[in-house]
Structure 1
Amino acid sequence: MRHSKLRLLLHSSSSSSSALSSSYSFLTPFRRLIVPCLNFSDADASSSDDSSADFSPLPFPRRTSYRSGEVSVETSAGRRYSFSREWLSKLALMEKIATLLANKGWDLGFLSSLNVELDECNVTQMLNSLYDASSDGALAFFFFRWVRRHNGSDHGLRSVCTMVHISVSGNMNHIAMGCLREIARNVSGGEQWIDLVFDVLRETSRTREVLRTVYSMFLSCCIYENSIDVGMEFIKRMKRFNFFPSVGVYSELIRSLLESKNLGFVEELFEEMPNCGIGSNKLVMSLFLRELCAKGALEYACKLIADMQSYGGEADVVVYTIVINALCNQGFLREATSLLYKMMDIDISPDTVLLSSLVDGYCKAGMLVEAVGLMNSLSCIPDAYVYNSFILTLCRNGDMQEVSNLLNEMFILGIQPDSVNYTTIIDGYCKVCQIDQALKILAMMLKRGVNPTILTYTVLIDGYVKIDDLQGAEYIFYSIQKQGIQPDVVAYNMLMNGYTKKGHMHKAYEVKDMMLKDGISPDVATYNILMHGLIKRGFAAESRDIFNELVRRGLSPDKISFTNVIDSYSQDGNLEEAFLIWCSMGREGIQPDIVTCSALLNGYCKRHHMQEANVLFQRMLDAGLVPDLILYNTLLCGFCKEGDLNEAYRLLTMMKEHCITPNNVTCMALVCGLEKIGVQNAVESAIIKLQEVFAFKHMVGCEFIS
Structure 2
Amino acid sequence: MLAGAVELDTVGFGVFVKAVGRKDDGLTEVLRLVDVVGRQGSRINRSVVAAMVIDGMCREGRIEGAWRALEELRLRGWKPDFVAYRIVAEEFRVAGRVEEEGSILKQKRKLGVAPRKAEYRECVLELVSNRLVTEAKEMAEAVVLGDFPIDDDVLNVLVGSVSDIDVDGAAMFCKFMMGKGRFPSTEVLVNLCENLCRSNKGDEMWEIFRVLLGKGYCKNARDYHLVVSFLGKAGKVREAYDVLKEVKRKRLEPDISSYNALMEALCRNDLLRPAKKLWDEMFTSGCCPNLHTYNILITKFTEMGESQEVQQLFDHMFQKGVAPDCATYTSFITMLCQENKYEQALEIFKKSLTQDAEVASSVLSMFILALCNQGNFKAALSVMCSVPSHVENLNSHVILLKNLIDVGEVEMAVEHLGWIRSNCSSNFQNIMNELMASLSTSASLQNVTKLIQCLHSQRLVDDADPWMKLM
Structure number with greater CO (CA < 8 Å, separation at least 6) is 1
Q: AA paired with 1:354?
A: T
> Can you list the C-alpha shifts for 1:172-201, whole angstroms capped at 9, x where unaligned?
6844864x7425326777xxx6353x4243
Q: Does 1:499 align with 2:445?
A: yes
> Can you list the C-alpha shifts for 1:418-446, whole angstroms capped at 9, x where unaligned?
1123223323443454545433433443x
1:184 aligned to which of 137, 141, 145: 137
Aligned to 2:430: 483
Distance 1:337 1:271, change over 3 A: same
Shift of 1:397: 1.8
Q: AA paired with 1:370?
A: E
Asked if structure 2 preserves the Cα contact closer than 8 Å seen for 1:254 and 1:266, the reply is yes
1:319 aligned to which of 254, 258, 261: 258
2:223 aligned to which of 257, 281, 284: 281
Shift of 1:317: 0.9
1:466 aligned to which of 385, 404, 407: 407
Distance 1:233 1:421, change over 3 A: closer
> Can you list the C-alpha shifts for 1:537-571, whole angstroms capped at 9, x where unaligned?
xxxxxxxxxxxxxxxxxxxxxxxxxxxxxxxxxxx
Distance 1:497 1:199, change over 3 A: same
Asked if structure 2 preserves the Cα contact closer than 8 Å seen for 1:181 and 1:222, the reply is yes
Q: AA paired with 1:450?
A: V
Aligned to 1:268: 207
Aligned to 1:248: 187
Distance in structure 2 (CA, Å) of the matches to 1:423 and 1:115: 71
Distance in structure 1 (CA, Å) of the matches to 2:45 and 2:308: 82
Q: Does 1:219 align with 2:159?
A: yes
Local SS of the residue matching 1:199: coil
Distance in structure 2 (CA, Å) of the matches to 1:500 and 1:290: 52
Distance in structure 2 (CA, Å) of the matches to 1:406 and 1:227: 47
Distance in structure 1 (CA, Å) of the matches to 2:123 and 2:117: 10
Provide the aligned C-alpha RMSD in A: 5.2
Distance in structure 1 (CA, Å) of the matches to 2:230 and 2:369: 38
Distance 1:456 1:262, change over 3 A: same
> Can you list the C-alpha shifts for 1:610-643, whole angstroms capped at 9, x where unaligned?
xxxxxxxxxxxxxxxxxxxxxxxxxxxxxxxxxx
Q: Does 1:335 align with 2:274?
A: yes
Distance in structure 1 (CA, Å) of the matches to 2:371 and 2:316: 32
> Normalising by the residue count of structure 1, what TM-score does the alignment of the two structures yield?
0.40
Q: Does 1:401 align with 2:340?
A: no
Distance in structure 2 (CA, Å) of the matches to 1:410 and 1:114: 78
Sequence identity of aligned pairs in percent?
Answer: 14
Distance in structure 1 (CA, Å) of the matches to 2:405 and 2:191: 50
Distance 1:366 1:45, change over 3 A: same
Local SS of the residue matching 1:483: helix
Distance 1:325 1:500, change over 3 A: farther
Distance in structure 1 (CA, Å) of the matches to 2:323 and 2:46: 74
Distance in structure 2 (CA, Å) of the matches to 1:501 and 1:194: 70
Distance 1:490 1:348, change over 3 A: farther
Q: AA paired with 1:223?
A: S
Aligned to 2:118: 162
* 1:342-357 matches, cutoff 5 A: 342-357=281-296
Distance 1:489 1:222, change over 3 A: farther
Asked if structure 2 preserves the Cα contact closer than 8 Å seen for 1:454 and 1:488, the reply is no
Q: Does 1:199 align with 2:148?
A: yes
Asked if structure 1 preserves the Cα contact closer than 8 Å seen for 2:193 and 2:205, the reply is yes
Extract unaligned runs of 5+ from structure 2: 1-5, 18-37, 51-72, 84-113, 422-426, 454-471
Distance in structure 2 (CA, Å) of the matches to 1:166 and 1:488: 63
Asked if structure 2 preserves the Cα contact closer than 8 Å seen for 1:181 and 1:221, the reply is no
Distance in structure 2 (CA, Å) of the matches to 1:117 and 1:163: 11
Asked if structure 2 preserves the Cα contact closer than 8 Å seen for 1:165 and 1:176, the reply is no
Aligned to 2:233: 291
Q: AA paired with 2:283?
A: M
Shift of 1:460: 3.2
Shift of 1:461: 0.9
> Normalising by the residue count of structure 2, what TM-score does the alignment of the two structures yield?
0.57
Extract unaligned runs of 5+ from structure 1: 1-42, 55-110, 124-147, 202-210, 508-706
Distance in structure 1 (CA, Å) of the matches to 2:307 and 2:230: 32
Q: Does 1:359 align with 2:298?
A: yes
Asked if structure 1 preserves the Cα contact closer than 8 Å seen for 2:333 and 2:345, the reply is yes
Structure number with higher helix proportion = 2
Local SS of the residue matching 1:496: coil
Distance in structure 1 (CA, Å) of the matches to 2:264 and 2:377: 35
Q: Does 1:372 align with 2:311?
A: yes
Distance 1:443 1:364, change over 3 A: same
Distance 1:224 1:356, change over 3 A: closer
* 1:554-573 matches, cutoff 5 A: none
Asked if structure 2 preserves the Cα contact closer than 8 Å seen for 1:244 and 1:276, the reply is yes
Asked if structure 2 preserves the Cα contact closer than 8 Å seen for 1:281 and 1:313, the reply is no
Distance 1:53 1:344, change over 3 A: farther
Q: AA paired with 1:320?
A: Y
Distance in structure 2 (CA, Å) of the matches to 1:409 and 1:222: 50
* 1:148-159 matches, cutoff 5 A: none
Shift of 1:318: 0.8
> Can you list the C-alpha shifts for 1:379-413, whole angstroms capped at 9, x where unaligned?
345745344443222212222233334445666x6
Asked if structure 1 preserves the Cα contact closer than 8 Å seen for 2:377 and 2:404, the reply is yes
Distance in structure 1 (CA, Å) of the matches to 2:406 and 2:149: 73
* 1:293-692 matches, cutoff 5 A: 293=235, 298=237, 301-307=240-246, 315-328=254-267, 331-374=270-313, 379-381=319-321, 383-385=323-325, 386-408=328-350, 418-445=360-387, 447-452=388-393, 454=395, 457-469=398-410, 472=413, 482-483=429-430, 487=434, 491-492=438-439, 496-499=442-445
Shift of 1:341: 0.8
Q: AA paired with 2:340?
A: G
Distance in structure 1 (CA, Å) of the matches to 2:115 and 2:42: 20
Number of paired residues?
A: 355
* 1:8-27 matches, cutoff 5 A: none
Asked if structure 2 preserves the Cα contact closer than 8 Å seen for 1:184 and 1:225, the reply is no
